[in-house]
Structure 1
């Protein structure tokens, strides 16, 4: 058996099964497709479940893959042990109703003994205790010695996860020798020690469990195998754990170079090195597959791994951003098998860099706060209130609080923490409630039995419809009179009901005996369109015939903005990358507001490219086509679906040639030219990993242009510029004059501060071994206070200065400690904090200079009088 590198092993395996008639498929992305049961792909067969169940036809009955996988169930143990990791690769060969036990066992044995050249006497096979067929196949057909086959129970050798395909399995073990064993007489295959390594599991899916203990045989049994690539590499390289495999060692060497340390010399440092190596490996692959940092779901897994890696860098003494360098090593080691790593390299490094720098601002402040909590804490449990404060105020994640607490022999009161978090969510949810929307909360029950409304608004402006139901208050009504506010449900309508981010239509409904003004249109889960109306004249009754007339000018403006949203998403994906996905949108008659997944603010150049790309499509007058089709057909066309949204079997697809294809039930213009122009007016952050663009089209651009020209004219007049063409020059001249005036003012303030300091130093009093001067200065801002403090330190090294500047209802307290006073024990940060607390405030800072705030001005004089005694406590 010869040493073999991990990348070589992967290729040997895939080539072998290609030679056995298998189709080699690339690894599926780590984001599960059409599977809400998984957060991340965690096994080789996970992305192919529908092939096994028959829901989807596989591209071939024989398939082989090397699948990227993430498992985070034991994330706390990563680094602490040699065995745990979050990212791994799973080799697999699969049969969907084709070959079965005879071929699967023979090929597994051939690969191990012929291709890998493993010694036969080192290999062991386990089978399910009742699977006599497998025993016969392994011994009589494959030729495995009977004394190297071990029967194990259902827990070990029967593969079953709820209802569905299941069956017995065979596992292949490698015996590393007694020197790796536990020495117990009972040591054997299945022992927890390091002697026998299980590296390949061959599952014979031959039953279909009903979840109640019944196992009818499948008409066409399947084969599902899984072999950990890293485990096989451990065997082939004769190393004890995955961190000693060649590719992992190369990443570890990079980490050690950055940290200036050596792996294997210090157990504590080794933990951090392993955490960084594993976690950066995971996040590199996750980002390449389009996962962005966020505060929930798979985005939070990514963020948590990044933050753990960054923190362990600090523990190694790395005081700068470094994770992108480690990611570059990961890409170098794996890009041959995963070319997407090279294609997405720039984006991967950008996401990691932005997140690491953001966390750097959090970790120092949060760690200092947590250390202070632990230092002054009685007992071993950190309160849930403190943990919540760290999270809510400092952005310090609970997982990191728990981890640091554990390192210091402490725990966290998680129950109270989660209770406080839940209270915060409920408060936020209550604040977001919309009275208008909530008033119809019971509509589904009120409209039970009312058939769904037929929507004609894709093709028609007006229609004749019949009144099916009237909601008045909290009840159904037979009629409504002038002045009544009601909900009206028709059998058909041209009014669009709010959904998919597009607002509902307004307009008019008219009958023979009534006229109604529609202020909004909504839609419930039963697809009843509710027209929110005020009866303006006459009486409306159930059964009446009405004419629907939406405000068509408003609707056209909405359609322009909705079509623009589709073009915007397509442009963003081309400029920023395919990780961009819709995270929310609002389309109304005034503008389009589009939220999307992205890791950083867009640069002016990126915004320009996006805007230019959208306008190019508008000016090209491209038809906007809409069609209904089976969902599978839509997916084959590459139509984008909203992540997490549930769709029926038939979906509507809106297309703008090959530029944009999306699932969408909204209304659109039939040609891009009708959008007029597109202009981005704002780009901002709405949440971690989510950006927002606001833009206008059509008349919105026209109004924006007029408003901008008016603003320019008004500004020119204010600056006494004859024409708008001279505006820039006048603005620059005015700014220069202001800057000069500010400079002169600063000089005057400095002179004034110097004179005040001389007077204050003369009146200083002794406090222990140092002198103290105090003053309350009305109108002095933080800048003035800082200037005075600098002068005190320059002129009187033995002095402690405590100055309070009062501005309106607020006060700032500044404390300066001279060089000699500092040597005698005076501490500006502690003095500032103590003085400020006496006036209802708080603060702190460095030993030689600190700032604090005071809330209770009535107590400010008393606090300043106490400064001398407080200082004396530190400089006795």
Structure 2
């Protein structure tokens, strides 16, 4: 799917569209010397030990900063939904803020609670469970902060120009991120039967937000071929309602403001510290954790081969054997995973998920 993604801001403020030599994807930047898109594995984390946001935020402070910014810009603030989506029979858990509004609001059968709206939605995903504790950035539970606009036929709210401008203003004016270090990478999105063009917003090697312009739905068998577009191997047709579907990583932004070796240290420290004491985990050289995290950010750990390769690279960088590295970092990785999984279970049980040893 090719679509012109030159927004008003890119045109008026001198952004340059480049093609990343490593992944081949197009991205927008203000920095004429920049070559790569800013996304791992094309770039490493550049904020470990030197935070990319000048002020340190807690989860509560960052969430409030985001919601009040969008409220100031005319968005109705909406309370989080439960992580158990009783309004849907096709998914077991809420994995993104847009799921709160699929399918009824997007189809137009139900009104949104506000339009446009802003929300911070706890989301649970087990797709990356093997990465949790290891890469420093993956969670099974995380909060997706979002602003959504539902453009019903004949009732437009806003679209790509305004979405990009709001994101850029929030990051640079509110959080004081450096404009020349932000990139907008073009990468179409698909999920839950909908699809559309999208920007990944990247900063110092970390994806901090995704801005999706949902305008297609799965094509029916008898669809008019002139209407059909293909995205990620699936066929879609245009929707009557066009939805601005954004997701900003609350934990990732807090991490960016702390520059700790992992996001777990930044947001789950209150659980991790006592766990380390209780388990008698030995303190290790912070440099080992930092290098481990910097390199782990470049990987998706899908099997033991990936993990072994990561260990070899880190060990080489810090000048120790793979065995010594494994012995040092493994207890940390397990404690990070325990803290994350416990938080996910707490939310699930509180929102009415009943544990069972049959079916899902």
Which residue, out of 162, 167, 172, partners 1:113? 172
Note if 1:269 corresponds to 2:289.
Answer: no
Give deviations 1:539-586, integer Å, cap 9, x for gaps.
xxxxxxxxxxxxxxxxxxxxxxxxxxxxxxxxxxxxxxxxxxxxxxxx
Q: Flag the structure with more relative contact order, 1 or 2, with Cα contacts below 8 A and sequence separation at least 6.
A: 2
Equivalent-residue separation in structure 2 for 1:161 and 1:14 (angstroms): 25
Contact 1:39–1:297 (CA<8 Å) still a contact in 2?
Answer: no
What is aligned with 1:201?
210
User: For residues 36-47 of structure 1, what are the structure 2 equivalents within 5 Å?
Assistant: 36-47=89-100
SS at match of 1:96: strand
What is aligned with 1:160?
190
Equivalent-residue separation in structure 2 for 1:109 and 1:250 (angstroms): 31
Unaligned stretches of 5+ in structure 2?
A: 1-53, 152-156, 222-227, 230-235, 286-327
Give deviations 1:207-249, integer Å, cap 9, x for gaps.
344167445544442200011111112222223432121x311
SS at match of 2:191: coil
What is aligned with 1:12?
65
Contact 1:95–1:223 (CA<8 Å) still a contact in 2?
Answer: yes
Which residue, out of 139, 147, 151, partners 1:85? 139
What is aligned with 1:52?
106
Cα 1:253–1:162 change in 2 (3 A) is closer
Q: What is the CA distance between 1:123 and its match in structure 2?
A: 0.7
User: For residues 152-301 of structure 1, what are the structure 2 equivalents within 5 Å?
Assistant: 157-161=187-191, 163=193, 165-175=194-204, 196-210=205-219, 213-214=228-229, 215-245=236-266, 247-262=267-282, 264=284, 266-297=328-359
Equivalent-residue separation in structure 2 for 1:20 and 1:263 (angstroms): 46
User: For residues 275-354 of structure 1, what are the structure 2 equivalents within 5 Å?
Assistant: 275-297=337-359
SS at match of 1:160: strand
Q: What is the CA distance between 1:286 and its match in structure 2?
A: 1.1
What is aligned with 2:25?
none
Q: What is the CA distance between 1:60 and its match in structure 2?
A: 1.8
SS at match of 2:97: coil
Q: What is the CA distance between 1:297 and its match in structure 2?
A: 4.9
Unaligned stretches of 5+ in structure 1?
A: 128-156, 176-195, 299-876
- Report the structure number with the largest CA radius of gyration: 1
Cα 1:53–1:278 change in 2 (3 A) is same
Cα 1:91–1:24 change in 2 (3 A) is same
Contact 2:78–2:113 (CA<8 Å) still a contact in 1?
Answer: no
Contact 1:264–1:270 (CA<8 Å) still a contact in 2?
Answer: no
Q: What is the CA distance between 1:34 and its match in structure 2?
A: 2.5
Equivalent-residue separation in structure 2 for 1:282 and 1:229 (angstroms): 15
Aligned residues: 247
User: TM-score when scaled to structure 1?
Assistant: 0.27
SS at match of 2:337: helix
Contact 2:129–2:139 (CA<8 Å) still a contact in 1?
Answer: yes
User: For residues 286-685 of structure 1, what are the structure 2 equivalents within 5 Å?
Assistant: 286-297=348-359
Contact 1:22–1:62 (CA<8 Å) still a contact in 2?
Answer: yes
More helix by share: 1
Contact 1:251–1:277 (CA<8 Å) still a contact in 2?
Answer: yes
SS at match of 2:270: helix
Equivalent-residue separation in structure 2 for 1:100 and 1:2 (angstroms): 31
Cα 1:221–1:78 change in 2 (3 A) is closer
Alignment root-mean-square deviation, CA: 2.1
Cα 1:100–1:255 change in 2 (3 A) is same
Q: What is the CA distance between 1:93 and its match in structure 2?
A: 0.4
Equivalent-residue separation in structure 2 for 1:240 and 1:211 (angstroms): 47
